[in-house]
Amino acid sequence: MRHPRRAKRTPESRGIVARRFWGAHNVIRSDVLIIGGGVIGLMSGWLLARAGVAATVIDSGMPAATDAAAGMLAPSFEGSLQQGAALAEFSRKSLGRWPALAAALYERSGVDCDFQKGVLSVAFDEGEAAAFEKDHDGGLLLRREEVLALEPALSPRVLGGRFAADDGQVDPRLVRVALARALLNDGGRLLRGKKIVAVHAGENGPARVSTEGGETIEAGHVVIATGARLDGLTRLPPGAVFPVKGEALALGRVAGSPMRVVRTGRAYLCPKADGRVVVGATEIEGDWSLTTDAARIDALRKGACAAFSALSAAPEISRWAGIRPSTRDGAPIIGGAAEAERVIFALGHYRNGVLLAPATADAVVGAVTGEGADPLIAAFSAARFNELGVS
Ligand SMILES: Cc1cc2nc3c(=O)[nH]c(=O)nc-3n(C[C@H](O)[C@H](O)[C@H](O)COP(=O)(O)OP(=O)(O)OC[C@H]3O[C@@H](n4cnc5c(N)ncnc54)[C@H](O)[C@@H]3O)c2cc1C
């Protein structure tokens, strides 16, 4: 908890008045307003609603990175990205929340978000195999025959692998649909097609935000979960959050497709319950465009076919691009702003926002209610990018 004095305050003084929405004099009010309806904003809204807090998620309808994600929940293979122990532990914690949350989401929404366990990473050259030997914290080292026993259709050129039984995947588009329904079913609100253009959060009184259409929304707390887009909503230093475009494609499943998530040095392959095999992904820093490059998509497809030759005959179903919200140090920004106590950041999740959504949402609930605060969050404070605030 970044604001120890909050613990002594009553819920009312924090602006929380057990699940209440108001609407008078053309001002919409909510206990907590979450700006952004991607996986981070919706998961936060849903968990707040489940905690009995009146939560409103507002989304502009601009493309969400969540819809572009492959949906891997794979902390065991992100060692090179982990910015210290805090992010590694936070990732593990979040992964551990997914099985129960996926079941609860199904119960509250009727949408099965295709949660699957088991991620296999494979080596096709000595360098990749040696890297597995060096760093096998997050999985079981497998010999060539063991890898082929798991994935018989894999190229016999494989040298070895690493298997993380508890890592997994979901279908992020289904997660987004499920979260929206569950949010509504648990008493939250979702306002679509409204872009927030300003946030005002002084020391006293509720925070106020303005929509592009001129409406005002008041809230006890405002959560900024806008992914890569800051659009002047905060005074985070320029470049603290920046876009890293990712391109991917989906092939139709054929006999000889992978049976679980398989990661190779050239591409990852994620077989989904709907019959697609999602193949990703490129990383292009600083590119806001959503166009796909034919040569780069072709390289991904070739990488997938090198691992599973049967995929050469698979039809391409779709190709797309999305914008990962990256930060200077690769870790997300989660928690309150010192100068604007009622504003909470939940953004900058780079290539692991789906994985990190449960732990991030738990942290948002903790920051709002003052209960169950996660000490790990200190490592993700916006203060590490120097001073920030809101206009
Ligand atoms: C190709 C690709 C593959 C990926 N694979 C994985 C993966 O396998 N596993 C994983 O964990 N992560 C993966 N990611 C990363 C993941 O997609 C992101 O980290 C995550 O989706 C970020 O979620 P978010 O809710 O913060 O942002 P978004 O999903 O971008 O949502 C932000 C929302 O905020 C809305 N918004 C923005 N500004 C405003 C405003 N001013 N007012 C109102 N609404 C606003 C937008 O319309 C959008 O709907 C991948 C990303 C890409 C591109």
Boundaries of every domain in the chain: 4-67+174-239+329-385, 116-167+241-327
- CA dist., res. 170 & res. 163, Å (int): 18
| Nearest CA owner, ligand 1 atom 5 | 69
Phi/psi at 102 (5° precision):
-60, -40
pLDDT the model gives residue 39:
98
Torsion angle defined by CA atoms of residues 370, 65, 119 and 160, in that order, rounded to the nearest 10 degrees: -130
**Cα–ligand 1 centroid distance for 229 (angstroms):** 10
- Is 195 touching ligand 1 by the criterion CB < 6 Å? yes
**Cα–ligand 1 centroid distance for 179 (angstroms):** 14
Query: What burial class does residue 95 get, using C-beta atoms within 10 Å of its C-beta: 0-12 exposed, 13-18 middle, 19+ buried?
Result: buried
**Cα–ligand 1 centroid distance for 97 (angstroms):** 19
- CA dist., res. 347 & res. 40, Å (int): 8
Residue range 116-167+241-327, CATH number: 3.30.9.10
- Is 72 touching ligand 1 by the criterion CB < 6 Å? yes
The closest-lying atom of ligand 1 relative to the alpha carbon of residue 228 is 30
pLDDT the model gives residue 368:
93
Query: What burial class does residue 127 get, using C-beta atoms within 10 Å of its C-beta: 0-12 exposed, 13-18 middle, 19+ buried?
Result: exposed
| Nearest CA owner, ligand 1 atom 37 | 226
Low-confidence ranges of the chain (pLDDT < 50): 1-18, 388-391
Equal fold, 4-67+174-239+329-385 vs 116-167+241-327: no
pLDDT the model gives residue 373:
78
Q: Which CATH architecture has domain 4-67+174-239+329-385?
A: 3-Layer(bba) Sandwich (3.50)
pLDDT the model gives residue 11:
45
The closest-lying atom of ligand 1 relative to the alpha carbon of residue 352 is 11
Query: What residues form DSSP beta bridges with 326?
Result: 242
pLDDT the model gives residue 27:
63
Collect all residues with Cβ–Cβ distance below 8 Å to 238 and sequence separation of at least 6.
none
Angle at 337 between CA 332 and CA 338, to 5 degrees: 135
Whether the Cβ atoms of residue 249 and residue 298 lie closer than 8 Å to each other: no
pTM for the model: 0.93
Q: SS3 breakdown of the chain: % helix, strand, coil, rounded to 5?
A: 35, 30, 35
Phi/psi at 203 (5° precision):
-65, -40
pLDDT the model gives residue 235:
78
**Cα–ligand 1 centroid distance for 7 (angstroms):** 31
**Cα–ligand 1 centroid distance for 53 (angstroms):** 24
